[in-house]
Amino acid sequence: MEKIIIFDTTLRDGEQAPGASLNPQQKLEIAFSLEKLGVDVIEAGFPISSKGDFAAVQAIARTIKLPVICGLARAIKKDIDAAVEATKLARRPRIHVFLATSKIHMQYKLKKAEGEIIRLAVESVSYAKKFCSDIEFSPEDATRTQKDFLFQVIEAVIKAGATTVNIPDTVGYTEPEEYGRLVRAIKENVPNIDKAVISVHCHNDLGLAVANSLSAIKNGARQVECTINGIGERAGNASLEEIVMSIDTRKDIYSGLKTGINKKNIYKASRLVSKLTGFVVAPNKAIVGGNAFRHESGIHQDGVLKERSTYEIIRGEDVGFLVEGMVLGKHSGRHAFNERLKKIGFHLNKDQVDKAFDRFKDLSDKKKDIFDDDLRAIVDDEIRVAKPIWKLNSFEINSGTKIKPKAQVVLIKGGKNISEVSSGDGPVDACFKALDKITNFKAQLEDFRLEAVTSGKDALGQVSLKLKASGLIVSGRGSSTDIVEAAVKAYIDAVNKLETK
């Protein structure tokens, strides 16, 4: 069996999605999950882009053992130096250099002619090669690059030491047949192509990223760049889970090919990325959406009960999707609680278990049946920020149809209570205004979503929101049976992220 190399760029291209920004600790948490998932390469970040990204790539390189750890660089010495420095402690580092090759990019963005582009590409690959044996080169906007020029660039960078050549569909412009033909043409027209792995990197502007990547595989690409839940610039990247499960499910079509992904960890990785980026997974998202394995219509349910394969091509449990059941209640003890947490993938330290258990007990006073999703939400709340700067002490609101809503919020910072009162258009607005007064952040609310974690009138409400301050967008999440409290917690979560940026 030939292996398709899974190059995960959730932490680099994925994190470029507006509002997806992650701090180094969160990036490391995702990197652990990617390692468990069995990805071959983790593109950990773009080290020159910020101090935080450099620190994140360095921490991942130091800590994560199995996958190759890759840092991105423009074809500029200082970028390459930063990527080399940030990845040097990895067992197997990779430097990924990119330079645009399409006429549009060369003329308007780089203002350089073809000769100069080839010279820069070769110089930067040769320079990176002095420090690292594993070099990937990307001719950015390859799918809109004139073919003969693309072949020349690829040949030249392989000669200079590139071991992987990536063919990015940077703007999501290509379509499956055309992209497959391009990969085939590269194999047929670049004389030294056997010395490098052909990689593909597809954006989803036309909704074709996965289809394009699969077509490239059929035509000889052996590395796929993808992200968990398909997050990434604009409409995102090819989704890892969809590519992996396509190859796995249609063995008849992808015969002789396999990936090293531990499928059972897919759902967990998806939920972690969703939680930390604040990007909710659409219920109908293939493979990891909440409805992906649920059957609603009577005819389908009847069919599945008689024989699963009537309406299921993948079993939910194969990708780690647990069928939720009623799990715990008021009388469940700490041991049962912790055992259930382990079963759904949370291995917490004693302090975290204690905190989560207190939350669980509070919740079980308000809510009769507690489901796995409730547990995920409360654990998510309790362990997300190890040492939050701001913590909620209490809040009180006065609201109704005939009065202007007013809120008093008390936060704790460094052991001290700080309290403020504010009015607003509604109870949530009044709380947010009081929070702004306390924290002194003039943050703008960019997005606000409220979801019920499970069904029923007593369901936990989960608020996901995005705040913008000083050009940064951060996400926050909070849950409670009281939706105003969920909103307040989400706001504090986002403010804590802004404080550590």
User: What residue ranges bind Zn ion (CB under 5 A)?
Assistant: 13
Q: How far is the CB of 16 from Zn ion (least distance, A)?
A: 7
Q: Does 236 bind ligand KIV (CB under 6 A)?
A: no
Residues 6+ apart with CB under 8 A from 51: none
Q: Which stretch binds ligand KIV (CB under 6 A): 113-121, 162-170, 328-336, 455-463?
A: 162-170
Identity of the residue, 40 or 374, whose beta carbon is nearer to ligand KIV in the bound complex: 40
Return the residues of window 37-76 that contact ligand KIV according to CB under 6 A. none
CA distances from 111 to 97, 103, 142, 218 (A): 19, 10, 17, 36
Q: How far is the CB of 179 from ligand KIV (least distance, A)?
A: 14
Identity of the residue, 179 or 441, whose beta carbon is nearer to Zn ion in the bound complex: 179
Q: Whole-angstrom Cα distance, residue 1 to residue 195? A: 20
105, 129, 201, 497: which one contacts ligand KIV (CB under 6 A)?
Answer: 201
Which residue, 318, 165, 228, 221, is CA-closest to 27? 228
Identity of the residue, 13 or 372, whose beta carbon is nearer to Zn ion in the bound complex: 13
Q: How far is the CB of 110 from ligand KIV (least distance, A)?
A: 14
* β-pair type (68-74, 93-100): parallel
Dihedral sign of CA atoms 111, 115, 117, 123 in order: negative
Which residue, 501, 470, 474, 236, is CA-closest to 389? 501
Identity of the residue, 97 or 473, whose beta carbon is nearer to ligand KIV in the bound complex: 97
Partner that binds at residue 98, options Zn ion, ligand KIV, none, CB closer than 5 to 8 Å by kind? ligand KIV
Q: How far is the CB of 8 from Zn ion (least distance, A)?
A: 13
Partner that binds at residue 270, options ligand KIV, Zn ion, none, CB closer than 5 to 8 Å by kind? none
Return the residues of window 414-433 that contact ligand KIV according to CB under 6 A. none
Return the residues of window 12-41 that contact ligand KIV according to CB under 6 A. 13
Q: How far is the CB of 13 from ligand KIV (least distance, A)?
A: 5
Identity of the residue, 84 or 202, whose beta carbon is nearer to Zn ion in the bound complex: 202
Identity of the residue, 14 or 320, whose beta carbon is nearer to ligand KIV in the bound complex: 14
Identity of the residue, 223 or 439, whose beta carbon is nearer to ligand KIV in the bound complex: 223
Q: How far is the CB of 74 from ligand KIV (least distance, A)?
A: 9
Q: How far is the CB of 55 from ligand KIV (least distance, A)?
A: 21
Residue found by looking up tokens 């499928």 in the block? 263
Q: How far is the CB of 12 from Zn ion (least distance, A)?
A: 8
DSSP secondary structure, 416-454, as one string: EEEEEEEE-SSHHHHHHHHHHHHH----EEEEEEEEESS
Q: Whole-angstrom Cα distance, residue 482 to residue 347? A: 27
Q: Whole-angstrom Cα distance, residue 292 to residue 383? A: 28
Q: How far is the CB of 139 from ligand KIV (least distance, A)?
A: 9
* Amino acid letter, residue 471: G
CA 450 to chain centre: 21
Q: List residues bridging with 366 in a β-sheet.
A: none
Identity of the residue, 43 or 374, whose beta carbon is nearer to Zn ion in the bound complex: 43
Identity of the residue, 13 or 485, whose beta carbon is nearer to Zn ion in the bound complex: 13
Identity of the residue, 105 or 376, whose beta carbon is nearer to ligand KIV in the bound complex: 105
Q: Which helix (H) or strand (E) holds 329?
A: none
Residue 390: both structure tokens together: 């701001």
Identity of the residue, 202 or 397, whose beta carbon is nearer to ligand KIV in the bound complex: 202
Q: Whole-angstrom Cα distance, residue 8 to residue 232? A: 11
CA distances from 254 to 46, 245, 257, 478 (A): 33, 11, 6, 42
Q: Whole-angstrom Cα distance, residue 407 to residue 395? A: 7
From first CA to last CA, the distance across the chain in angstroms is 45
220 with 183: CB under 8 angstroms? yes
Partner that binds at residue 87, options ligand KIV, Zn ion, none, CB closer than 5 to 8 Å by kind? none
CA distances from 406 to 201, 395, 421, 438 (A): 51, 11, 7, 15
Partner that binds at residue 140, options Zn ion, ligand KIV, none, CB closer than 5 to 8 Å by kind? ligand KIV
3-state helix, strand, coil in the chain (%, to 5): 45, 25, 30
Using Cβ positions, the residue closest to Zn ion within the complex turns out to be 13
237 with 13: CB under 8 angstroms? yes
Identity of the residue, 13 or 381, whose beta carbon is nearer to Zn ion in the bound complex: 13
Q: How far is the CB of 141 from Zn ion (least distance, A)?
A: 10
Which residue, 374, 382, 378, is CA-closest to 352? 382
Partner that binds at residue 138, options ligand KIV, Zn ion, none, CB closer than 5 to 8 Å by kind? ligand KIV
Q: How far is the CB of 57 from ligand KIV (least distance, A)?
A: 15
* Window 84-103: contact mask with ligand KIV (x via CB under 6 A): --------------x-----
Partner that binds at residue 124, options Zn ion, ligand KIV, none, CB closer than 5 to 8 Å by kind? none
Return the residues of window 166-185 that contact ligand KIV according to CB under 6 A. 166, 168, 170
Q: How far is the CB of 171 from ligand KIV (least distance, A)?
A: 8
* Window 138-157: contact mask with ligand KIV (x via CB under 6 A): x-x-----------------
Write out the residues near ligand KIV by the rule CB under 6 A: 13, 98, 138, 140, 166, 168, 170, 201, 203
